[in-house]
Structure 1
Amino acid sequence: MQLKTLTATAVVLLGLISTAQAVDINQQGAKEIEANLSRLLPKDAAKGFVTVNPAGTRYEIVYDFAALLKKADPKNFSIKGLNPWSIFATPEESGLWTIEGNNSLDVTGAFKAPGQPNTEFTYVIDSLISNGVFDPAISYLKSGDFSSKALRFSSKTEKEEVSVETGPSTYKMTSSDAELKGRTNFAGSGTMNAFVETISGKEVPAVEIRADSVDFAAAVNGVSINDFREILAFVIEHADDKKLKRADSEKIKELLRKSFPLLTSLNETITLNKVSVSSVAGSGGADSIDYTIGVSGPSDAMRFDVGMAAKRISLDTALLPEMYAPFVPEELELQFGFPELNVAALGEELMKVDYTDEKKSSEESDKAFAKLMTNGEMVVAFPKISARSSVYDAEISGEVRGVPKSTTEYSMTASILARDFDKTITAIQELAKSNPELNQVSFGLMMVKGFGKTDPDGRQRWDVSVARDGSITVNGQVVKGAN
């Protein structure tokens, strides 16, 4: 049910006609567009979900989302206020289409998943305005601008209630030809203003999260959107098949082979500005919090990166004794990466899987995913992990290499940098006057200092290496021999 709902909803932006051509506005053209859109729908949802009608110099495309839910069990799912959406498509002399829409959403409902409590929900979107240019050559938008006045969402169970509100929001997307022939680059960016999320429940105190604005930007390059469209159509057509026929198995392999690699790079950044968090336990916040993900590199050596950074962090809570306050980081940055992913080898192995045999295909797929690791080795990189407060300023970078499921076959290289390290030791010693157990920490830091060397910028440096034989060196000095 989830798969069908998601793929059907994607049809809103996935196609009008397959080729650019002069278009007369008539009932026959409306039927052709409707049939083309319905091709990407589950059979039991195709009827009634999309309706296309001539409307003067353009077509009106009506999406009746209630049709997607017509087979839902009313005992497990109910919804009120789900009205159809209209999008108007105007053919241009260039062969492109102008897309326009102004819709809203105001629904309430309830659902119950197996083993889960009954959940009541509301979802409101005030005036979602969309304007774009659709390109039949890629079966997708060439560009688009979207805006909404406000969004409100709530979810409530017996134990917990979550609500989210935002003010005016804008979003823009563009597309362009990729370096690889027949592929497309997509980019999008936007801002959501006045974000507020409230979480409350019987067993937890209420928490409120606010952000003056949320900025987001994303880009995905080298996508074969037409191949993806064919794969989507195949998945929907065979969604109810318990087992694929041999011919169908070979067909999906060929579709996947044509679309490979699925993309050449991807990156996304989400920034929360002027963030505050408040609860009965205290409050805190930051000037900004960034989240990033990225995929890059050739298909036989791809890299997946994730990161988080926070600036001007503040914390005000009675749970934290005042003497520990200087140790709360004012700035924090975490970067992790998973390089040397052999997606090409994974793809080759998946092409060998026998999808007509469910048990066999599951075993072969597991073996195929093992090929994702180059030479059977997992690499975890940490380009930068840093924290700074009034009493410390430290940074670490490096990588760990190892064999999964083994606690001994691994190695690590890391560089640790610390500015004003003596200041950090002094702060720990001062704190140890109230907590004598910290004397051991102070003593350990002084021992560590003895292994350090000074960089030209005045920071202390420790280059650490852990070999697979268990030996450890720091700045070239052996501090532990092989096992």
Structure 2
Amino acid sequence: MKRVLPAVLGFALVAPAWGQTVDNRGAKQLSDNLSRYVGKQVLSGGILKVSAVGDAYKITFDLKAIAAGLPKQDPPKFDFPPYTLLVKPRGDGGWDVSSDFSTSGSIQIDGPNGQTSARIVIKDGKFTGVYDPELAAFTKGDSSIAGMTMTSRMPRQVTELGIGSSTSKFGASKSANGGVDLKVTRAIADLVETVKIDDRAVGAIKASDLVVDVTAKAIRTRPFLDLLAFAVAHEDEARLKADQAELKALLLAALPLWDQLAGTYSFKNVAFDTYAGNWGAAQLSTAFAADGVAQNGKLDYAIKASGLTFPEVIPGWIAAILPTELDLKFGGSNIDLDSMARKTIETFDLGKNPPLPAGFRDQIKNDFMANTPKFIVGRSVFRNGGTEIAMEGEMTFPGQKPDATMTIDVAGYDKIVAALQTAAKTEPEAAQYFPFALAVKGFAKTLPDGRMEWVINAKPDGSVVVNGAMLKPADPAVDDSGGGGAKLNP
């Protein structure tokens, strides 16, 4: 709720506040502005109200009024106090925004399979920010809570989420490429989530700290608002069909959605409690970066962990070779979403059923693959004591079949073999892997620094070559000339 409502607020404040006098007339103007984005029924039904209070406007969201407008048969039961925001005109055309979003409430739904409910408590929730109508974004803002708990109950399952103190900072500025550059940072302490089924604990996730950093370059905030206003104004199907040319223009104006979206999630002292035992990491982080809807877009992910621990149920010989540190990088390039999006927008016709012609999905899939999208594994490293395994490579799909190259190099491979040899004396499973480890070593190339390297090439014809030696020949070629059977490649 606290994430969605400030965004809804932005829809109400699209009009600049140049020297605006706070009075009932101004409250009516704000209500009219808001109705363009949420619908007049929300205002007439009492879900949202705008009133003048001193030198600011109070915007009130009443969740109980939502329930009142739902069908009378088995309606959900809302027990939340109203959520309020204070917005005050600034002399520069922007708005000062503040809120105390502390709350304690619940929702309950009675269904054919039993009762489902959720309860949320937010302690000392504070929000302040400055909203710029020209950017359709907050130029700066802060929020904090002293703590939060949320409990959801289903007939057999109970999930409990709790966090300690949390702070957020966010801001926006005009982008040189159009749109808005955004930055959001959030810090959370003492994150705990537990799951019980039939009163038995089945899993838990814990972390002492979580820090989230997200940035967006040239995000198209204004076209997003225009699309929302169009959707609210075209709830009638006949009007939507009649104005689909306007819809297409608005969709095209929103492309590429953003130039780039990137973020990191960094955890400390992470623990995963499961039926299979407890897993953990002293440090765990994930990072992502994604281009918008582009002709040659890129997508990158990274996962880093250190101080990894594993369940005691894992055999000791396996635990000895599992990584205690990892740095995994992967992603893609040559991702043409722009042509796909534009062709879809150009082709769809809401007056037809279905809106897209037969075979269209296969057509855009073929077009997408024709741009030769590439799956990439960046140099990724797995470490455990004196051993280190590194890999990198890429894969494309010419003719819808994979063409891959992967390079793997290992420091301390002899230690891995020795551990397997020792374990093979008492562990049948280790005895099965030991001959395989020796065979793999036979394909290796020894590098000047002593590391062992394997360069693996997998071709679309099914052949696999390791360090220049044929590991697997090409698949038999299928004779589709009608003669039946298959024939080998010459």
**CA contact under 8 A between 2:255 and 2:293: conserved in structure 1?**
no
| Partner residue in 1 for 2:383 | 388
Which amino acid in 1 is paired with 2:407? S
User: Secondary structure of the equivalent of 1:314?
Assistant: coil
Q: CA deviation at 1:61?
A: 1.8
Matches within 5 A, 1:64-103: 64-73=62-71, 75-103=73-101
Answer yes or no: is 1:349 the counterpart of 2:348.
no
SS at structure 2 position matched to 1:253: helix
- Whole-angstrom CA distance in 1 between matches of 2:83 and 2:367: 43
Instruction: Verify the 8 A CA contact 1:288 1:312 in the aligned structure 2.
Output: yes
Q: Deviations over 1:267-309 (max 9, x none)?
A: 1221221112335753331112222332037810112233433
Q: Distance in 1 between matches of 2:70 and 2:318?
A: 55
Shift of 1:362: 6.9
- Determine the C-alpha separation between the residues in 1 that align with 2:302 and 2:75: 38
Mapping 1:54-453, distance limit 5 Å: 54-73=52-71, 75-112=73-110, 117-181=114-178, 183-202=179-198, 205-238=201-234, 240-242=235-237, 245-278=240-273, 282-296=277-291, 299-317=294-312, 319-352=313-346, 353-361=348-356, 363=358, 366-367=361-362, 369-370=364-365, 373-375=368-370, 377-390=372-385, 392-402=387-397, 409-453=401-445
Separation of aligned partners in 2, 1:280 and 1:470: 40
User: Aligned equivalents of 2:170 and 2:180: distance in 1?
Assistant: 13
2:228 is aligned with what amino acid? L
CA contact (8 A) 1:8 1:42 kept: no
Q: Distance in 2 between matches of 1:70 and 1:144?
A: 34
Which is worse superposed, 203-212 or 122-131? 203-212
Contact 1:18 1:139 in 2 (8 A): no
SS, match of residue 360 in structure 1? coil
Equivalent residues of 1:343, 1:372 under 8 A apart: no
- Are the counterparts in 2 of residues 134 and 140 from structure 1 also a CA contact under 8 Å? yes
- Aligned residue for 1:336, secondary structure, equals strand
| Structure 2, gaps ≥5 residues long | 476-490
**Structure 1 position 88, deviation (Å):** 1.4
User: How far apart in 1 are the matches of 2:155 and 2:185?
Assistant: 37
Change (3 A) 1:203 1:475: farther
1:10 offset after TM fit, Å? 4.0
Structure 1 residues 274 and 13: CA distance shift in structure 2, 3 A: farther
User: SS where residue 354 of structure 1 aligns?
Assistant: coil
Give the SS at the match of 1:351.
helix
Shift in alpha-carbon separation, 1:456–1:358, aligned structure 2, 3 A = farther
Partners of 2:30 and 2:157 in 1: CA distance: 44
Given the superposition, is the C-alpha separation of residues 392 and 159 from structure 1 closer, same or farther in structure 2, using an over 3 Å criterion? farther
Please say which of residues 186-195 and 436-445 is displaced more in the overlay: 436-445
Shift of 1:234: 1.4
Q: Tell me which residue corresponds to 1:3.
A: none
Find the counterpart in structure 2 of residue 34 from structure 1.
31
2:488 corresponds to:
none
Partner of 2:486: none
Give the Cα–Cα distance (whole angstroms) in 1 for the partners of residues 244 and 425 of structure 2.
Answer: 71
Once the 2 structures are TM-superposed, how far is the Cα of residue 107 of structure 1 from its aligned partner? 0.9
Cα RMSD of the aligned pairs, angstroms, is 2.7
Q: Secondary structure at the match of 2:243?
A: helix
TM-score normalised by the chain length of structure 2: 0.88
Q: CA deviation at 1:482?
A: 3.2
- Greater displacement, 342-351 / 166-175: 342-351
Offset of residue 38 of structure 1? 2.1
The 2-side partners of 1:394 and 1:125 are apart by 45
Q: Provide Cα deviations, 1:327-382, integer angstroms capped at 9, x if missing partner.
A: 33212343331322112201220222212223133757635752672406553222
Q: Is this contact kept in 2: 1:8–1:41, CA < 8 A?
A: no
Whole-angstrom CA distance in 2 between matches of 1:455 and 1:346 = 45
CA contact (8 A) 1:425 1:445 kept: yes
- CA 1:370–1:203 in structure 2 vs 1: closer, same or farther (change >3 Å)? farther
Matched with 2:459 is 467
Deviation at 1:403, TM superposition (A): 6.2
Q: Distance in 1 between matches of 2:251 and 2:61?
A: 30
SS in 1 for 2:460: coil
Q: Shift in Å at residue 137 of structure 1?
A: 0.5
CA distance in 2, matches of 1:127, 1:363: 55
Given that 1:349 and 1:368 are in contact with CA atoms closer than 8 Å, whether structure 2 keeps it comes out as no
- Number of aligned positions between the proteins: 471
SS at match of 1:359: coil
Which stretch has the larger CA shift, 366-375 or 100-109? 366-375
Q: Equivalent residue for 2:479? A: none
Unaligned runs of 5+ residues in structure 1 are 1-5
CA distance in 2 between partners of 1:429 and 1:77 (Å): 65
SS of match in other structure, 1:137: coil
Q: Compared with structure 1, are the counterparts of its residues 372 and 220 closer, same or farther at alpha carbon in structure 2 (3 Å cutoff)?
A: farther
Q: Distance in 2 between matches of 1:27 and 1:40?
A: 21
